[in-house]
Structure 1
Amino acid sequence: MTSTYRPPRDDAPLVVFDFDHTLYDGDSGSHLFKWLIERAWWRVLLALLVAPVAGPLVAWLPTRRAGISVFVWIGTLGVRGRAALDALIDRYVIEHTEAIKARLLPVALDVFHQHRERGDRVVVATGAPPELARAILAFVAHEDVPVIGTLLGPKLGGMGALRHCHHAMKMTMLRAAGFAQPIEEAYSDSSADLPLLHAARKPVVVNPKPARVVMFRRVLPPGTPILNWGCPGRAGDPAR
């Protein structure tokens, strides 16, 4: 059953959550694109052929959008328009509801609920397609909040990333969507979200990679919480 919350006041604190490895254990976009590619043997073959080039592009920040776009394009060849892609995303979420539900982090959802119960203005900003996070939150977690995410559009018979909601662009897209007020709290696992964490009055690092903890402690204000919300293999102090 969907929870009901009072609408946020105009002056309510703005709270921003990342999605992957923050509310969701894993990379939701990669899980979706893998499913899209595995729909046909020829897509799998094509992905294997381009992986030696596209894979390293994904791993390097300046070329990440290009690398991701290659795999998105392979998974969406023949998909005509955003409406058709959104229908595929909804189908993926419905068919994998139980597996997705198991990846949503209960501690993270509790914190998410607490902010909504307080009347905070809560928004999710993710590198995944917004329809994916929106569908997961609606179908699986029964939450309805604004979602800002990577915009996909037609490209050479398939779909590609037009605007990657990542690093500084995430802040640009939040502001463009009307979230121009100061950010009270921000939750993220990723060093790519340092622009978001720096912009928040109260940054909170959750489920970081172990190798990133020292860096977060160095570049964020003293006393910034670094927590683990139940994400296996990730660092952070245990949630209380």
Structure 2
Amino acid sequence: MSVPGPYPVPADDAPVVVFDFDHTLYDGDSGSHLFAWLIKRSWLRIVVALLLTPLLGPLVAMLPTRRRGISGYVWIATFGLHRRRDLDALIDQYVAANKQDMRGRLLPQALEVFTAHRVAGDRVVVATGAPPELAREILSFVAHQDVPVIGTLVGPKFGAVAARRHCHHEEKMRMLREQGYGDIAAAYSDSAADLPLLLAARRPVVVNPKATKVDLFRRLLPSGTPILNWGCASRGGDPA
């Protein structure tokens, strides 16, 4: 599925290539899968999630309020935790318990492109709305755990471990710039929430978009921007 390392150490001036994670390298929403697993740890969490879904569900569905809705579910999933490392320990348990399923969700076509950039010596970075520990653990299945991952930062909040800084939309670009990845040669993402990232890249590539968003991407991104499907059967895009 992936060419084993070691890969060349990128030069400081090597092209920066940014990959989203969910629905780009991974078939699904890894963070949602994690927090659903955490909620199912107890019947009380399940009941609270069901009671609050009429409020939180519509918030998640709309881009301007998505962060608030997701934060609500994260709070339910992590209530009683007090440190980021507590969540990281649960992430390790979750990955160990679901290793086969997660390995199967990594998209071979995506990994071929990802690996080719690494072989070429590009500065490859993953920028995801999921907790960075989760993306790193999943990438370790295919020997890419050393790739820098910028993700949602969590910390203690209202008796739980919740998002303190959500790596999403414009905030994702701010977090990339802060880490020295402001001059982006290429970016790969499925999401309209990543339009700031795609517009900042000299070569944007849309992969596995929702079919309803294809026209939006064609309208807002430069003419000729590739819109591809890398193996997500439920998603749009041209066959790669």
Category of TM-score, reference length = shorter chain: over 0.9
Which residue in 1 is equivalent to 2:225? 224
State the Cα deviation string for residues 98-156 of structure 1 (Å, max 9, x = none). Answer: 00011110000010000000000000001111111111112x22212000111111111
SS of the residue corresponding to residue 154 of structure 1 reads: strand
> Which amino acid in the other structure matches residue 41 of structure 2?
R
What's the counterpart of residue 64 of structure 1?
A: 66
Q: Provide the rounded CA distance (Å) in 2 between the counterparts of 1:33 and 1:186.
A: 27
Whichever residue aligns with residue 238 of structure 1, its letter is P
TM-score, scaled relative to structure 1: 0.96
Identity percentage of aligned residues: 66
**Structure 2 residue matching 1:86: 3-state secondary structure:** helix
What amino acid maps onto 1:104 in structure 2? L
Query: For 1:160-205, what per-residue CA distance to the aligned partner results, in whole angstroms no more than 9, with x for missing partners?
Result: 111111111100011112223x100000001110100000000000
Please list, as runs of the form range in 1=range in 2, the aligned pairs for 1:8-157 lying within 5 A after superposition. 8-138=10-140, 140-143=141-144, 144-157=146-159
Where do 5+ consecutive residues of structure 1 fail to align?
Answer: none
Letter in 1 for 2:199: H
Q: Does 2:164 correspond to 1:193?
A: no
Equivalent position to 1:6, from 1, 5, 8: 8
RMSD of the alignment, in Å? 1.1
1:204 paired to 2:202: no
Given residue 113 of structure 1, which amino acid in structure 2 is its aligned partner? T
Could you tell me how far 1:50 is from its partner in structure 2? 0.7
- Supply the distance in 2 between the matched residues of 1:90 and 1:122 (Cα, whole angstroms): 24
Equivalence for 2:238: 237
- What is the letter of the counterpart of residue 48 of structure 1? L
Residue type at the aligned position of 2:67: R
How far is 1:3 from its partner?
2.1
- Give, in whole Å, the separation in 1 of the partners of 2:172 and 2:76: 25
Letter in 1 for 2:157: K
- Structure 1 position 2, deviation (Å): 5.4
Moved more, 25-34 or 58-67: 58-67
Determine the C-alpha separation between the residues in 2 that align with 1:73 and 1:53: 14
1:167 corresponds, among 163, 166, 169, to 169
Shift of 1:79: 1.3
Cα distance in 2 between the residues matched to 1:214 and 1:109: 26
- Corresponding residue SS for 2:41: coil
Structure 1 residue ranges (4+ consecutive) displaced by more than 3 angstroms after TM superposition: none
Q: Distance in 1 between matches of 2:87 and 2:179?
A: 22
The normalised TM-score by structure 2 is: 0.96
Q: Report the AA paired with residue 64 of structure 2.
A: P
Which amino acid in structure 1 is aligned with residue 231 of structure 2?
G
1:61-83 per-residue CA deviation (whole Å, 9 max, x = no partner) reads 22211111111111111112011
Matches within 5 A, 1:176-191: 176-180=178-182, 182-191=183-192
Alpha-carbon separation, structure 1, partners of 2:162 and 2:35? 12
Instruction: Report the AA paired with residue 218 of structure 2.
Output: R
Deviates more, 1:57-66 or 1:23-32: 57-66
- Code of the residue aligned with 1:50 in structure 2: it is L
Letter in 2 for 1:66: R
